[in-house]
Structure 1
Amino acid sequence: MGAADIPAIVSNVQPSVVTIFTGRGGLGSGVVYSEDGLILTNEHVVRGSRDVEVGFADGQRVAATVRATDPIADLALVEAQRTGLPAAKFQPALPRIGELAVVIGSPLGFANTATAGIISGLHREIPGSASSSQSLVDLIQTDAAISPGNSGGAVVNSRGEVIGISEAYIPPQSGAVALGFAIPAATAVKVADQLREDGTADHAFIGLGLAEITQPIASELGLPDTLGALALSVQEGGPAAKAGIRAGDVLIRLDGDKLTSPEDLLAALRTRSPGQTVTVEFRRGADTQEVKVVLVARPAP
């Protein structure tokens, strides 16, 4: 299906995409999750807010309450005082690179804005993000324009199915051209269903504080390169500590898959569940060791 289908896609999906207004003048986007008023958006859109307003494509604007949030996945559920809503259709299967991607949201407050491009990449992590956020991993990349205000809105395919929730972009001043990122629909649906059920979402936890390996750190620790995830701190009594991992160890593989950065480890954990056992390979000085780690549920902050 080609560009001629985009107007129909936008027309069909726009009623399921909303604008979220916070009490401090901020705004973002959201996607209708259920016909009884639940809206899925990013946690960072509603952070610090309890009461918000939701604007719909038909011009109606209603009061809403932040029902549950999950900062780990950067997702939240907002309950709008309106029913009979057109719930979006989600497609949990990952798209293929090169597929059509249409982004719908409210960039800079321009409601019902649509941009289009393709899926540019899968399983992306934003480099250096692990030190400040655990959400910018295992993302879908698109060249369809994503701007401030798009956060929480929809990325849809040629069938009008939501394949991702707009999450972030790399600004042009960083030298980027059309680098936008979205949370995959499978992650969004899994977290949203858990938030709807009991207000919380489970995430696998290994009990490590991570750091990027810079060249000076590599030289100081006598490492052959800067690849891997440095265990900067180890939670006492946590999964990693019980397995024998210490601060200063460098994790290089998880279940046989290479870890080139802290973001790689966070992305790998995103696909695991509490209670699951993983095999971790790490360097300690000149030695390489392998241990079994039993993951647990991330403790409440």
Structure 2
Amino acid sequence: MVTVKTPLGLGSGVVYHSDGALVTDAHVVEDQQKHPYRTVQVQFADGSQASADVTGVDDVTDVAVLKVSRNGLPAPAYATQVPEVGSLTVVIGSPLGLDETVTAGIVSALHRNMPPSSESPHGAIDLLQTDAPISPGNSGGAVADANGQIIGLSEAYLPPSSGAVAIGFVTPASTVSSVADQLLANGIVKHAALGIVPADITAQTAQRFGLATTEGALVLDVTAQGPADKAGMKPGDIITDFAGAKVKNVTDLLAALRKQDPGQTVTATVRRGDGTQDLKVTLGDLAQQG
């Protein structure tokens, strides 16, 4: 475990490789404009400190890799399997600057999706849910199982002001490892791109346009010469199915898109006027679209 110090505050991180590679949440090492810092300070469990280069960040999954000039770090094992609901979770981090704080709970649920927001325009997809207390400063820290394996990184929590009681979210270790390996190898992460601006269909929107249902993802805009445009998708279309998954809202669409790879051709079912169409979309690469 390490504590990550930036001009904005404190976060947590975990050793990834013994050669000095560390992992944390991308938002821990970014400024208020979502720009990553070039370097941050990290403090190790023995109290020593070092400057860490921000090797790469992936805002889609909110994972970042740091690198320090230090060898022989104790690297934990990262789980390759999804944990069972009800199994032990141990959260380790620096909440409110309290180094190496440990809290415990269970895995409350799997495959949780959080809708996009101004802070997270891509949404948060396929998270673990835990009731182990997570506080400000825990972000990017280790969440381990009963065997000491890392099952994920602390991602977010619902504050008590929302009415929630012990609801926290964790980026699974499989996601962390996949993203970290790509960042270390290439500096970027490949994500499939559709090339649209989607929106949920509110009751007001449905009433205004005479829609029979609020289910689906409304296409507000289509990127010129992008994957959706080339497939014939148009503003005003409502996506109801994507790559074999039912789409009830934008979060469903993003979750289905996250499972695909750039270059794949998938079927998108859209409702246009009184009819429906099946469109064959060859997905692009989000990194290449900037």
Amino acid at match of 1:263: T
SS in structure 2 at match of 1:191: helix
13, 24, 45: which one aligns with 1:57: 45
SS in structure 1 at match of 2:45: coil
261, 276, 283: which one aligns with 2:264: 276
* Structure 2: distance between partners of 1:77 and 1:135: 20
SS in structure 2 at match of 1:129: coil
16, 31, 41: which one aligns with 2:24: 41
* Structure 2: distance between partners of 1:225 and 1:180: 32
Change in CA separation of 1:153 and 1:25 when aligned onto 2, cut-off 3 Å: same
C-alpha contact 1:74 1:135 (8 A) present in aligned 2: no
Seq. identity, %: 51
C-alpha contact 1:69 1:195 (8 A) present in aligned 2: yes
Q: Does 1:20 align with 2:20?
A: no
Change in CA separation of 1:226 and 1:194 when aligned onto 2, cut-off 3 Å: same
119, 136, 142: which one aligns with 1:148: 136
The offset of 1:132, in angstroms, is: 4.2
- 1:109: which partner in 2? 97
How high is the TM-score relative to the length of structure 1? Answer: 0.90
Instruction: Flag structure 1 segments of 5+ consecutive residues without an equivalent.
Output: 1-16
Q: How much is the aligned-residue C-alpha RMSD, in angstroms?
A: 1.6
How high is the TM-score relative to the length of structure 2? Answer: 0.93
Amino acid at match of 1:149: G
Aligned residues between the structures: 284
Amino acid at match of 1:117: G
SS in structure 2 at match of 1:138: strand
C-alpha contact 2:91 2:144 (8 A) present in aligned 1: yes
The offset of 1:81, in angstroms, is: 2.5
Instruction: Flag structure 2 segments of 5+ consecutive residues without an equivalent.
Output: 32-36
C-alpha contact 1:71 1:135 (8 A) present in aligned 2: no
C-alpha contact 1:129 1:263 (8 A) present in aligned 2: no
Q: Does 1:172 align with 2:160?
A: yes
- 1:8: which partner in 2? none
For residues 243-283 of structure 1, what are the alpha-carbon distances to aligned partners after superposition, in whole Å with 9 as ceiling and x for unaligned?
A: 11111111111222211221111122222111111111121
The offset of 1:205, in angstroms, is: 0.6
Change in CA separation of 1:127 and 1:199 when aligned onto 2, cut-off 3 Å: closer
Q: Does 1:185 align with 2:144?
A: no
Amino acid at match of 1:240: A
SS in structure 2 at match of 1:272: coil
- 1:257: which partner in 2? 245
Amino acid at match of 1:18: V
Q: Which moved more, 1:34-43 or 1:89-98?
A: 89-98
Amino acid at match of 2:281: V
* Structure 1: distance between partners of 2:63 and 2:240: 29
The offset of 1:92, in angstroms, is: 2.4
Change in CA separation of 1:247 and 1:228 when aligned onto 2, cut-off 3 Å: same
C-alpha contact 1:151 1:168 (8 A) present in aligned 2: yes
Amino acid at match of 1:107: P
C-alpha contact 1:92 1:184 (8 A) present in aligned 2: no
4+ runs deviating over 6 angstroms = none
Structure with the higher fraction of residues in helix conformation: 1
Q: Does 1:234 align with 2:217?
A: no
Change in CA separation of 1:300 and 1:240 when aligned onto 2, cut-off 3 Å: closer
Amino acid at match of 2:12: S
Q: Which moved more, 1:287-296 or 1:120-129?
A: 120-129
